[in-house]
């Protein structure tokens, strides 16, 4: 393989083919569940280098069928499903896009921004803002994840309710194919019906069909008024009803609708002394609700408060506070974002990232809660998430007094089966926003329809017949 | 082929396999440019029958490679690119979805509606409204086009600015594959990252990859306030600047932004006496601008008028009228929708449906106008369209006194080349919303990148290796 490594060094420069020292930043997954072994970490500086690296690996693979190399594309390596780190074979190249982080263009009149894949999400947000616009994609890892990773995994986050997933925020892509060709699809067009939708095929394919090297993203006017409320609700059903009411009152101004269970919030209160969690002690669930509009601030506030009053009067909410300023709003979001950290403080747990139709949400929670309680008496549910999108992080924590590691070892398959079977019964998804990677590939094979799996396999085989890009992720070839 | 016809009669019933009499409603395209010859028009009643028809045709094709049959899926047959009518071979089955028109479900809490492919778009709009919701897809053919056709062609229309194309309005599909399998992908989920985006691959594939039999669509709250203005603008650039200003003032409340050239409007005035066209005599362009929001009507009107005042003060607009009621708004839209009819009255013309980045719109129009004027002195441009989406129907009419048929015969290829070359130079699309069908397949082969065409061909071959579905549409196999 030394020949290949030499060729790669020739393409990107010796300094950017890493083979020695501590490579764990690239070879270990974000949650530190797996430790892979890379043949090399290769860091190209521009699209032509990416194409040449892919060509070199494809050629090597053709000429050495007995020791097949493959490529794992990687952005910020913050994914949660072990999709961007190498396996233990030592025959995988990690192709890191981190050096490709330029903002290529901001086009205000077209409301678009063109950026390279390795750019950190927060930088995209900041550059958009500096130009007077809003790029609304927002998620916990935004300080270290890259836009290429967000696109590769079709990331969700907290603004999906109004703006959609990353897919809906992207107008065009530049992609290096498994043959090392470059598709220049960086369209800033809002309408283009000239053939199959290649863009959306690459988005969410987790680096298995091509390597996204740049993207043209949608920008939006900065909002003139932003309002944030924390609302106590008497039940999941009440939260769903409140969502409908907020949509009727606010329309597209409603940008965020997060639901948090009492136990999840109690963990934040327990482990983060400095955070004062409002209203949670007397309510089974709280909702974090946000609006953004071009209305004048006083007018927007009146409309927002009218909505909350209507909800209180109708009994969909038992209490509510509205943030008086941006600082207060930030604290409310900090509480929401601290739930996973508080949960980690409490001990290991079994995480899920599921979605169901919003109309089935209450029934799903009630049914699944009951099934888990029956199977494992005392089990604790850290239930929170993007209710406005029908997406919950329905996490399962050991009963009080039970060692978390033992709980996981003994109960993880059973808990997954109960939760995923229930998701399937309600017509939901076992991975709403995190993707499949290698972590969920066997679950997918079980829960996805054979017709869909067959179609996915045919597409993978057609576009990457060598199985060069991120093999054994998302869909396994025979 | 009688065996096949008998088998099809067995599947859907003899009454629904049409072979005799006047079949032109199915075999002639909407603009009556082509007259095909069908082996039969087959009208299944439900998804299982569609699957059986496909299986029967696939089997026949395997067993009779010398007289290959194929299938042309058809909805309302209102497409503009000859994509849903049979060729002249007499070996194509028209598979009409018209009998499958049921609304399967309206789920208010999930804001979704599930409908069969053959349902007329206007019926979908009406059923949504009857349930208290808004399905915003709207286009000239809505009284006769079907939602399956809208999905197959990723139709655009007048509400794309806020809601996106048909693609963005769809959450899930049911599809019969070229193998006659059924993909049950009728998800009402807003987040589902379990594998490749099959839904968007089928949407816009014009029946070449699968047959859409049903869809789950997004619903929206009915707006509380709707405002419509007719604005005279001094130039294309001023219209683009007005668009940016309207977006800053109204955000997502801005739902429509149509631009119309003076000559286009003069044709409406000339051929439709009863329509009083406002403001067009002293301005090179007029804009039809619409907003819809959940604000109280008086409040929405103030905001809307503030925006117009700012535009007038800054000189982006020279005059403006606001519709006082829904009836007045309807008349303004009627003028806009009458342009193609008025143009037809004036005589045959060369139609285009192009898009460019909005920031390039003014330069594109100026450059292309000049090139056409230089090539064909006296040529007249009927320029109108969805400026908010960067999409123009940039149509070319014969000079005064020149016979339209002669003009088309002598100049169509030259005019297309000038317009499409200019579109390509500005990074645009030669088919923004109408699709490719058979009418533009050769243009596509010329203007689309070879990499993209190669990817499309690989996908078509992978999913429909028999080339059974709508062959020689969108992408030709060797």
DSSP string for A410-471: HHHHHHHHHHHHHHHHTT-BSBSSS--TTTTHHHHHHHS-HHHHHHHHHHHHHH-TT--BST
CA torsion, ordered A10, A12, A13, A18, to nearest 10 deg = -110
pLDDT of residue B478: 83
pLDDT of residue B67: 85
Of A119, A104, A112, the closest CA to residue A133 belongs to: A112
CATH tag, B347-435: 3.30.70.2740
Q: What is the pLDDT of residues A150-204, one digit of tens each?
A: 999 999 999 999 999 999 999 999 999 999 999 999 999 999 999 999 999 999 9
Name which of B169, B171, B190, B199 to mutate to probe chain A: the one with the most chain A Cβ atoms within 10 A of its Cβ.
B190
Task: Yes or no: say if A245 and A307 are a contact pair by the CB < 8 Å rule.
Answer: yes
Instruction: Give the whole-number percent of chain A exceeding pLDDT 90.
Output: 97
Task: Give, to the nearest 10 degrees, the angle between helix A47-63 and helix A2-12.
Answer: 170
Q: Which helix (H) or strand (E) holds B208?
A: none
CA dist B173 and B177 (Å) reads: 12
- pLDDT category of residue A468 using cuts at 50, 70 and 90: very high
Pick the CATH number of A225-340 from 3.90.600.10, 3.40.30.10, 1.20.1090.10, 3.30.70.2190: 3.30.70.2190
Residue of B nearest to A429 (CA): B192
Interface check for B436 against chain A (CB to CB < 8 A): the answer is: yes
- pLDDT category of residue A1 using cuts at 50, 70 and 90: confident
pLDDT of residue A348: 87
Residue of B nearest to A293 (CA): B251
Taking contacts as CB-CB distances below 8 angstroms, the residues of chain A near B459 are 196, 201, 459, 462-463
Interface check for A251 against chain B (CB to CB < 8 A): the answer is: yes
Task: Yes or no: say if A41 and A63 are a contact pair by the CB < 8 Å rule.
Answer: no
* Inter-CA distances, A5 with A1, A72, A177, A207, A333, Å: 6, 15, 21, 22, 46
Q: What mean pLDDT value characterizes chain B?
A: 97
Average pLDDT over residues A122-149: 97
Window 118-147 of B: residues touching A by CB (8 A cutoff) are none
Instruction: Give the whole-number percent of chain A exceeding pLDDT 70.
Output: 100
Token pair of A233 as six digits: 């609700």
Q: What is the pLDDT of residues B211-266, one digit of tens each?
A: 999 999 999 999 999 999 999 999 999 999 999 999 999 999 999 999 999 999 99
Average pLDDT over residues B280-297: 96
Of B43, B166, B40, the closest CA to residue B115 belongs to: B166
Q: What is the pLDDT of residues A346-395, one digit of tens each?
A: 988 999 999 999 999 999 999 999 999 999 999 999 999 999 999 999 99
Task: Yes or no: say if B380 and B398 are a contact pair by the CB < 8 Å rule.
Answer: yes
pLDDT of residue A19: 97
Contact B195 A456 (CB under 8 A): yes
pLDDT at B378 over 90: yes
Cα dihedral B366, B372, B373, B374 sign: positive
Query: What residues have CB less than 8 Å from B381, skipping those under 6 apart?
Result: B261, B263, B369, B372, B394, B395, B396, B397
Which fold is adopted by the domain B223-341? Alpha-Beta Plaits (3.30.70)
DSSP string for A41-110: EE--SSHHHHHHHHHHHHHHHHH-TTS--EEEEESSS--SSS-SS--TTS-EEEEE-TT---EEEEETTT
CA dist B446 and B456 (Å) reads: 14
Shortest distance between the Cα of B403 and any Cα of chain A, in A, equals: 32
Window 41-100 of B: residues touching A by CB (8 A cutoff) are none
Backbone angles phi, psi at A214, to 5 degrees: -160, 165
Task: Yes or no: say if A196 and B201 are a contact pair by the CB < 8 Å rule.
Answer: yes
**Does domain B103-221 match CATH 3.30.465.10?**
yes
Q: What is the pLDDT of residues B44-69, one digit of tens each?
A: 999 999 999 999 999 999 999 998 99
Residue of B nearest to A225 (CA): B251
Q: Do B223-341 and B347-435 show the same overall fold?
A: yes
Taking contacts as CB-CB distances below 8 angstroms, the residues of chain B near A106 are none
Query: What residues have CB less than 8 Å from A76, skipping those under 6 apart?
Result: A98, A120, A141, A144, A145, A146, A149
Q: What is the pLDDT of residues A99-114, one digit of tens each?
A: 999 999 999 999 999 9
A294 → closest Cβ in B197, B249, B475: B249
Interface check for B414 against chain A (CB to CB < 8 A): the answer is: no
Residue of A nearest to B161 (CA): A190
Domain ranges of chain B: 2-96, 103-221, 223-341, 347-435
Task: Yes or no: say if A394 and A361 are a contact pair by the CB < 8 Å rule.
Answer: no
Q: What is the pLDDT of residues B113-126, one digit of tens each?
A: 999 999 999 999 99
Interface check for A248 against chain B (CB to CB < 8 A): the answer is: yes
Name which of B139, B163, B194, B436 to mutate to probe chain A: the one with the most chain A Cβ atoms within 10 A of its Cβ.
B194
pLDDT of residue A78: 96
Interface check for B295 against chain A (CB to CB < 8 A): the answer is: yes
A221 → closest Cβ in B248, B356, B430: B248
What architecture is domain A2-96? Answer: 2-Layer Sandwich (3.30)
pLDDT of residue A67: 85
Q: Count other C-beta atoms under 10 Å from residue B54's C-beta.
A: 26
Contact A168 B164 (CB under 8 A): yes
pLDDT at A33 over 90: no
Query: What residues have CB less than 8 Å from A21, skipping those under 6 apart?
Result: none
Average pLDDT over residues A455-472: 98
Phi-psi region of A133 (alpha: psi -120 to 50; beta: other; left: phi over 0): beta
Contact A196 B201 (CB under 8 A): yes
Token pair of A288 as six digits: 């974090």
Shortest distance between the Cα of A96 and any Cα of chain B, in A, equals: 22
Q: What is the pLDDT of residues B173-199, one digit of tens each?
A: 999 999 999 999 999 999 999 999 999
Taking contacts as CB-CB distances below 8 angstroms, the residues of chain A near B447 are 194
pLDDT at A478 over 90: no
pLDDT of residue B458: 98
Q: What is the pLDDT of residues B100-147, one digit of tens each?
A: 999 999 999 999 999 999 999 999 999 999 999 999 999 999 999 999
pLDDT of residue B141: 94
ipTM: 0.97
Q: What is the pLDDT of residues B406-432, one digit of tens each?
A: 999 999 999 999 999 999 999 999 999
Q: What is the pLDDT of residues B196-224, one digit of tens each?
A: 999 999 999 999 999 999 999 999 999 99
Interface check for A244 against chain B (CB to CB < 8 A): the answer is: yes
pLDDT at B1 over 90: no
Taking contacts as CB-CB distances below 8 angstroms, the residues of chain A near B164 are 168, 190
The strands making up A17-18's β-sheet, listed across from edge to edge, are A17-18, A38-42, A92-96, A70-74
CA dist B106 and B117 (Å) reads: 15
Interface check for A455 against chain B (CB to CB < 8 A): the answer is: yes
Phi-psi region of A472 (alpha: psi -120 to 50; beta: other; left: phi over 0): left
pLDDT at B31 over 90: no
pLDDT at B471 over 90: yes
Using DSSP, state whether A229 is helix, strand or coil. Answer: strand
Token pair of A241 as six digits: 């009803």
Interface check for B188 against chain A (CB to CB < 8 A): the answer is: yes
Contact A204 B197 (CB under 8 A): yes
Interface check for B306 against chain A (CB to CB < 8 A): the answer is: no
Q: What mean pLDDT value characterizes chain A?
A: 97
* Inter-CA distances, A152 with A51, A145, B355, B465, Å: 17, 11, 27, 28
């Amino acid at each position: 393989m030394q020949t290949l490594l030499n060729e790669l060094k020739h393409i990107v420069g010796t300094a950017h083919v890493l083979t020695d020292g501590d490579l764990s930043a690239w070879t270990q997954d974000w949650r530190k569940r797996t430790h892979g072994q890379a043949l090399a970490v290769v860091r190209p500086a521009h699209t032509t280098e990416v194409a040449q690296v892919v060509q070199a690996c494809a050629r090597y693979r053709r000429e050495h069928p007995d020791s097949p190399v493959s490529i794992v594309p990687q952005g910020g390596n913050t994914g949660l499903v072990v999709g961007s780190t190498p396996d233990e074979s030592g025959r995988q190249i990690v192709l890191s896009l981190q050096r490709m982080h330029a903002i290529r263009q901001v086009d205000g009149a077209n409301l678009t921004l063109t950026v390279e894949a390795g750019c950190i999400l927060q930088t995209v947000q900041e550059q958009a803002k500096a130009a007077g616009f809003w790029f609304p994609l927002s998620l916990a890892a935004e300080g270290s994840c890259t836009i290429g990773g967000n696109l590769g995994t079709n990331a969700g986050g907290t603004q999906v309710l109004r703006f959609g997933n990353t897919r809906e925020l992207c107008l065009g892509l530049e992609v290096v194919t498994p043959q090392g060709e470059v598709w220049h699809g960086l369209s800033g067009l809002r309408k283009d019906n000239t053939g199959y939708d290649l863009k959306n095929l690459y988005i969410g394919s987790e680096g298995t069909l091509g390597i996204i090297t740049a993207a043209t993203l949608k920008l939006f006017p900065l909002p003139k008024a932003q309002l944030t409320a924390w609302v106590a609700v008497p039940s999941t059903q009440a939260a769903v009803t409140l969502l409908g009411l907020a949509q009727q009152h606010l329309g597209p101004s409603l940008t965020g609708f997060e639901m948090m269970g009492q136990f999840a919030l109690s963990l934040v209160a327990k482990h983060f002394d400095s955070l004062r969690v409002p209203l949670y002690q007397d309510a089974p669930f709280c909702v974090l609700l946000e609006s953004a509009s071009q209305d004048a601030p006083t007018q927007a506030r009146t409309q927002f408060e009218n909505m909350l009053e209507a909800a209180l009067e109708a009994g969909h909410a038992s209490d509510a506070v509205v943030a008086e300023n941006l600082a207060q709003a930030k604290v409310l979001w900090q509480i929401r974002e601290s739930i996973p950290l508080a949960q980690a403080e409490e001990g290991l747990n079994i995480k899920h990232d599921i979605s169901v139709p919003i109309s089935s949400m209450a029934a799903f929670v009630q049914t699944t809660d009951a099934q888990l309680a029956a199977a494992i008496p005392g089990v604790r549910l850290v239930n929170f998430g993007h209710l406005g999108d029908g997406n919950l992080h329905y996490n399962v924590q050991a009963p009080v007094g039970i060692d978390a590691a033992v709980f996981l070892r003994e109960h993880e398959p059973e808990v997954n089966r109960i939760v995923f079977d229930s998701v399937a019964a309600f017509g939901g998804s076992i991975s709403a926003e995190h993707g499949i990677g290698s972590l969920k590939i066997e679950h997918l094979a079980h829960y996805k329809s054979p017709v869909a799996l067959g179609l996915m396999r045919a597409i993978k085989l057609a576009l990457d017949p060598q199985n060069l890009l991120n093999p054994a992720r998302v869909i396994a070839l025979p």
